[in-house]
Amino acid sequence: MNNLSLPVTDYLEMETANILLYDDNEALRISMEALISESVDLNLLGAMHTPQNVVSDIQTLHPDVILMDIDMPGMNGVEAVKNIRAYDEKLPVIMLTVFDDNENIFNAICAGASGYILKRYASEEIPSAIRTVMSGGAPMTGSVARKVLQMLPTAKSEEQEDYKLSKRETELLQLLVNGFSYKMIGYELNISLDTVRSHIKKIYDKLHVHSATEAVSLAIKKRIV
């Protein structure tokens, strides 16, 4: 399990994050509402049983982060993420699900999910995952992070593309894949936040991407790290 908790000083620096939750399990919605209410910097705007109206919900409620189940009636979470990405490329969407199989993980990430947390670890990981994704990270339950790096076989028929990442840039990309925020990367590598941002910009340029989600998705699909 990947512990993504941040220092108390980081909590104090963050503005309140407004959350929208989509899950057809009423008990889960109630428990998530209680969990989020315990955090002074998190605010649950609404908990919906279906994401069929997700775009209009976003337009009306203006969330900062969306928590999205995968298996729901009417429209599943992966399709909902695709709709969100068609409307807003950058709004963070964390998958909150019981599924840890390769197909669901891969489909969610390719659709544009910003993170992937298993429900059995929700009480431990969701608050810090929200804070992480708000600061540019891509939070994943540890077992999921390991799995996504192993799910795709190396394509022997294709030459591995050389993105010309430096050793330090590769280290940073690995930490992004592992769900680290910029501040956590700086602490891990003992470098300043400005230096982290500088490296991240170079990584984006070399990978031809524009966000942490795109960088993580490409790193997983192309097995860059």
Mean pLDDT by groups of 10 residues along the chain of 225 residues: 41 72 92 90 94 96 96 92 94 90 84 90 87 84 73 48 88 85 87 91 88 78 78
pLDDT of residue 128: 86
Handedness of CA 140, 141, 146, 150 (dihedral sign): negative
- The answer for residues whose C-beta is within 8 angstroms of residue 46's C-beta and 6 or more apart is 20, 21, 57, 61
The architecture of the domain spanning 151-221 is Orthogonal Bundle (1.10)
- Residue 67 in contact with residue 91, Cβ under 8 Å? no
pLDDT at 154: 45
HEC letters along 7-61: CHHHHHHCCCEEEEEECCCHHHHHHHHHHHHCCCCEEEEEEECCCCCHHHHHHHH
Q: What phi and psi values does residue 47 have, to the nearest 5 degrees?
A: -130, 110
Task: For residue 204, give the nearest of 195, 194, 216, 193 by alpha carbon.
Answer: 216
The H-assigned helical ranges of the chain are 8-13, 26-37, 54-61, 77-87, 102-111, 122-134, 142-150, 167-177, 182-189, 193-207, 212-221
Q: Give the residue range(s) of CATH 3.40.50.2300 domains in the chain.
A: 8-149
pLDDT tens-place string over residues 196-210: 989 999 998 998 887
> 141 with 116: CB under 8 angstroms?
yes
Q: State pLDDT tens for residues 16-31.
A: 899 999 999 999 899 9
Q: Looking at the domain that runs over 8-149, which CATH code has it been given?
A: 3.40.50.2300
CATH 1.10.10.10 residue ranges for the chain? 151-221
